[in-house]
Structure 1
Amino acid sequence: MQITAAALAQLIDATVEGDPDVVITGPARIEEATAGQITFLANPAYEHHLYQTMATAVLVSREFQPKTSIRPTLLRVDNVYETVSGLLQVYQQDQVATLPRQVSQHASVADSAVLGDEVRVGKFTVVCERATIGAGTVVLDQVYIGDGVRIGTNCLIHPGARILQGCVIGDNCVLHANAVIGSDGFGFLPDGEGNYRKVPQVGKVVIEDDVEIGAGTTIDRATMGATLIRKGVKLDNLIQVGHNVEIGPNTVIAAQAGIAGSTKIGANCRIGGQVGIAGHLTVADGTNLQAQSGVARHIKETNQALGGSPAFSYRDYVKSTILIGRLPDLYRRLARIEKKVNE
């Protein structure tokens, strides 16, 4: 994608300061940018890079005042981070738009599968019987789409993803490499001899619109009914979502978190990395969980910040962490006091 600073400024509602005719070919970090690239300055800690960067253009806030002369053209905007996010989305969409809208001759698509307009199916991808893929969706190489799967419009399915029988994906969703949707839930019953007998998992996974699933993340199908991922949820890499879990709208979960079966997580929650949540629990709307927290009870009050294992008030968790660091010294002091008392 090549665009002049003036044209880009119109696109992102920016004010140009410098040469409006310079051509921008792509984004880069301010420390690494070269001629033709655009970068940004939002954190003052990176300002010194501005005076050395070889970038052609830099996004800055409208209030920013450089301390000395600079080489790049400046594009002044109201909110740098929001503008960068939107700009990266434009470049990503441009990359996807260049992909050919065709079914590879090396793909295997069942005769009963239904593909919408401008669907791309990559090499060595398998689309099984009665699967449907909505218009504009891009399915890259080596993806497996099982029997009766339904995928909405304008989705992007990265290489190696597996969407198993009967699962449903909404519109505008992104599944990253090796995500697994619809693996069996972890259901076993002990018999009288101490062996475990598998409980059939006959439900499905339903993912609503505007959801993003990270690489290597696994979402188990329900024992019965559906595991539900609501609209706008964002899941990081390497997350385990158990059977019959429900994750509420616009909740975000960081890498390596694990959610056991039949737990319901509310809307607009923020869950840190390596958080573990036990099964059959309810987590209230707006809950914030510090990384590596463990949740073993219902969280009923909304908009709480929690940390620790088992999780409790984040403010108390921070105080407790500080006190733990002081325990060796407190122990030595107590030993000295005991010695004096004994004497």
Structure 2
Amino acid sequence: MKLTAHEIATVVEGTLHGSPDILITGAAGLSEAAASDISFLGNSKYLEQLSKTAAGVVLVPASIEEPDRPVIKVKNPQFAFAKILHIIEQEQNPAEKSGIHSTAIVSSTASIGPDVVIGPYAVIEDGVAIGARTKVSAHCFIGRATRIGDDCFLYPRVTVRNNISIGSRVIIHPGVVIGADGFGFVPGATGHFKIPQIGTVEIGDDVEIGANTTIDRATTDKTRIGKGTKIDNLVMIAHNVQVGEHCFICAQAGIAGSTKIGNFVTMAGQAGITGHATVGDGATLAAKSGVIGNVAPKEVVSGYPARPHREALKIQALLHRLPEIYERIKKLTKE
């Protein structure tokens, strides 16, 4: 990337304070940036670093007082920085020539859209439909009658089993498995009888799924992931789960079967939800929350079992005082 400060200000729709001719060729954090880098101030707690950074230009909030250095004032510095990173990413990863690699196995009944890339040793089974400009990387497996939309990117070793529906502009990272059997068994006197999992999985548009995440197929009907939802690495989503639109599900979270999650819900790292629960729109589940019941819309819960966050904090504060309280009670009983 080679952009002047003026050109960057135009891209991010910001106001430049400083020389328009500063040449920027890279991007970095405030503490790591060099004179040829652009950086950003996304949190006021890093304000001290603004005066110390070597960055050529810094993206700052529009409300900040003008510092004695080149800056571009914008509404959202992190979003503006992401726009610049997108330019760098496109340069680092130029579009591949479309086509099917000679080692890929593609069924004659598969429908492959225009400008699709299918990498080495990928397997595309009967009746699969792949939309325009989608890339299926090396060693991916796409099962029978699965449908994938336009402009998707499947990184190497993604497994998508049969009869799955994936929308457009979906990004799926390495090792993801979509459509494995749900964990369903009927206990019996002589063992556990496997319940056939004949349902499917439906992934909405603009979803991103992190590495080694698993999304199980429904017993019947569908496991659904709503449009715009972002799923981190190592997440487990069980059969018949319904995840709403624009949710954040962070690493190592787990959602048991038939749970319903609303829109704009955040699940922090290692949060877990029991089966058949309902989580309302806009709720937040703090890290390591153990949800064993329903969560109301916009409620923030934490702890195990998960309870309203303020209540959980009070309990934690009391637990820290438990040794002291115990000693006082022991002393009183002796008296």
1:238 maps to a residue whose letter is: L
Pick one of 126, 138, 155 that aligns with 2:135. 138
Call closer, same or farther: CA 1:45–1:308 in 2, change over 3 Å. Answer: closer
**How far does the alpha carbon of each residue in 1:148-170 deviate from its partner, in whole angstroms, 9 at most, with x for none?**
11111111212221111111110
Q: Which residue of 2 aligns with 1:229?
A: 225
Residue 306 of structure 1: aligned partner: 301
User: Match for residue 155 of structure 1?
Assistant: 152
The whole-number CA distance in structure 1 between the counterparts of 2:300 and 2:51 is: 40
Q: What corresponds to 2:247 in structure 1?
A: 251
Q: Hey, which bits of structure 1, 4+ residues long, moved more than 4 A?
A: 93-97
Distance in 1 between the 2:164 and 2:91 partners? 29
Please give the per-residue CA displacement for 1:274-328, whole angstroms capped at 9, x wherever unaligned. 11211122222222112111122233x3221112222221111111111110111
In the TM superposition, what are the counterparts of 1:210-225 in structure 2 within 5 Å? 210-225=206-221
Structure 1 residue 111 corresponds to structure 2 residue 108: yes
Q: Which moved more, 1:96-105 or 1:110-119?
A: 96-105
Q: Please, which of 235, 240, 265 is the counterpart of residue 239 of structure 1?
A: 235
Which residue of structure 2 aligns with residue 296 of structure 1? 292
Unaligned runs of 5+ in 1: none
Secondary structure at the aligned position of 1:319 is classed as helix
User: Residue type matched to 1:258 in 2?
Assistant: G
Q: Determine the structure 2 residue equivalent to 1:279.
A: 275
Query: Which aligned pairs between 1:64-75 and structure 2 lie closer than 5 A?
Result: 64-65=64-65, 69-70=68-69, 73-75=70-72
Local SS of the residue matching 2:34: coil
User: Aligned letter for 2:55?
Assistant: A
Equivalents in 1 of 2:279, 2:58: separation in Å?
A: 42
Q: Distance in 1 between matches of 2:244 and 2:114?
A: 31
Paired residue for 1:124? 121
Aligned-pair identity (%): 40
Shift in CA distance, 314/304, structure 1 to aligned 2, threshold 3 Å: same
CA distance in 1, matches of 2:275, 2:82: 35
User: What amino acid sits opposite 2:323 in the alignment?
Assistant: P
Distance 1:102 1:21 in 2: 42
| Residue 319 of structure 2 is aligned to residue 335 of structure 1 | no
Query: Could you say if the C-alpha distance between residues 266 and 24 of structure 1 is closer, same or farther in structure 2, counting changes exceeding 3 Å?
Result: same
Q: Secondary structure at the match of 2:33?
A: coil
SS at match of 2:133: coil
The letter of the residue matching 1:270 is: T
Q: What amino acid maps onto 1:78 in structure 2?
A: K
Cα deviation, residue 97, structure 1:
4.4
Structure 2: state its 5+ residue gaps. Answer: none
Question: 1:182 is matched by which residue type in structure 2?
Answer: G
Task: Please state whether the residue corresponding to 1:219 is helix, strand or coil.
Answer: strand
Task: Determine the structure 2 residue equivalent to 1:49.
Answer: 49
After TM superposition, the score normalised by the length of structure 1 is 0.91
Of 197, 200, 206, the match for 1:204:
200
Displacement after TM superposition at 1:94 (Å)? 4.8
In 2: Cα distance, 1:85 partner to 1:15 partner: 17
Question: Does 1:80 pair with 2:77?
Answer: yes
Match of 2:25 in 1: 25
**Deviation for aligned residue 1:141:** 2.3
Shift of 1:96: 4.7
113-122 or 324-333, larger mean C-alpha shift: 113-122
Deviates more, 1:171-180 or 1:28-37: 28-37
Deviations 1:256-276 (A, max 9, x none): 111111111111211121112
Pair 95,118 (structure 1): closer, same or farther in 2 beyond 3 Å: farther
What is the TM-score of this pair, normalised by structure 2? Answer: 0.93
Match of 2:9 in 1: 9
